[in-house]
Amino acid sequence: MLSSLRLLGRLMVLLLVLLLVAGVAFANLSPELEGNPTKAQRAAYANSGHYQEEKFQNLIPTSVNTGASTVAMLWKFLFQKSPEAAPPAPLPMQRLDSLSITRKTADVARVTWFGHSASLVEMAGKNILLDPMLSVKMGPISWVTPTRYNSQLAITAEELPPIDAVLISHDHYDHLDYQTIRRLKDKTQHFYVPLGVGAHLLAWGVAPEKVHELDWNDSVQLPGLTIISTPARHFSGRGLTNRNSTSWSSWVLKSATTRVFFSGDGGYGPHFRTIGAQHGPFDLALMECGQYDEQWSQIHMMPEQSVQASLDVRARAMLPVHWGAFTEANHAWNDPVRRATAEAQRLHLPLTTPVLGQPVVLGTTPLPQLPWWQTLGR
Report whether pLDDT(306) > 90.
Answer: yes
**What's the CA gap between 22 and 240, in Å, rounded?**
13
pLDDT computed for residue 367 by the predictor: 92
Report whether pLDDT(81) > 70.
Answer: no
Q: How many helices (DSSP H) and strands (DSSP E) are in the chain? A: 9, 15
**What's the CA gap between 29 and 10, in Å, rounded?**
29
**What's the CA gap between 184 and 26, in Å, rounded?**
26
326-349 tens-digit pLDDT: 999 999 999 999 999 999 999 999
**In the structure, what pLDDT confidence band is assigned to residue 108 with cuts at 50, 70 and 90?**
confident
Report whether pLDDT(106) > 50.
Answer: yes
Q: Per-residue pLDDT averaged across 355-368, rounded?
A: 91
Q: Are strands 318-321 and 55-56 parallel, antiparallel or unpaired?
A: unpaired
**What's the CA gap between 115 and 134, in Å, rounded?**
9
Report whether pLDDT(187) > 80.
Answer: yes
142-171 tens-digit pLDDT: 677 788 999 999 999 999 999 999 999 999
Q: How far is CA 52 from CA 15, 46, 65, 210, 255, in A?
A: 36, 7, 20, 28, 35
**In the structure, what pLDDT confidence band is assigned to residue 5 with cuts at 50, 70 and 90?**
very low
H-assigned helices in 139-288: 178-184, 198-203, 271-279
The number of beta carbons lying within 10 Å of the beta carbon of residue 236 is 24
pLDDT computed for residue 2 by the predictor: 44
- Three-state SS for 220? strand
Of 105-114, 271-280, 316-325, the least confident: 105-114
**In the structure, what pLDDT confidence band is assigned to residue 242 with cuts at 50, 70 and 90?**
confident
Q: Per-residue pLDDT averaged across 98-117, rounded?
A: 86
**In the structure, what pLDDT confidence band is assigned to residue 216 with cuts at 50, 70 and 90?**
very high
315 phi/psi in degrees, rounded to 5? -85, 140
pLDDT computed for residue 83 by the predictor: 77
**What's the CA gap between 15 and 193, in Å, rounded?**
37
- Three-state SS for 60? coil
**In the structure, what pLDDT confidence band is assigned to residue 65 with cuts at 50, 70 and 90?**
confident
Where do the domains of the chain lie, and which CATH numbers do they carry?
A: 98-361 (3.60.15.10)
Q: Tell me which amino acid residue 30 is.
A: S
Q: Judge whether 275 and 231 are in contact, CB under 8 Å.
A: yes
Q: Judge whether 164 and 222 are in contact, CB under 8 Å.
A: yes
Cα atoms in the 13 Å half-sphere on the side-chain side of 41: 19
**In the structure, what pLDDT confidence band is assigned to residue 8 with cuts at 50, 70 and 90?**
low
- Burial (CB count <10 Å: 0-12, 13-18, 19+), residue 252: buried
Q: Per-residue pLDDT averaged across 231-237, rounded?
A: 96
Percent above pLDDT 90 for the chain? 74
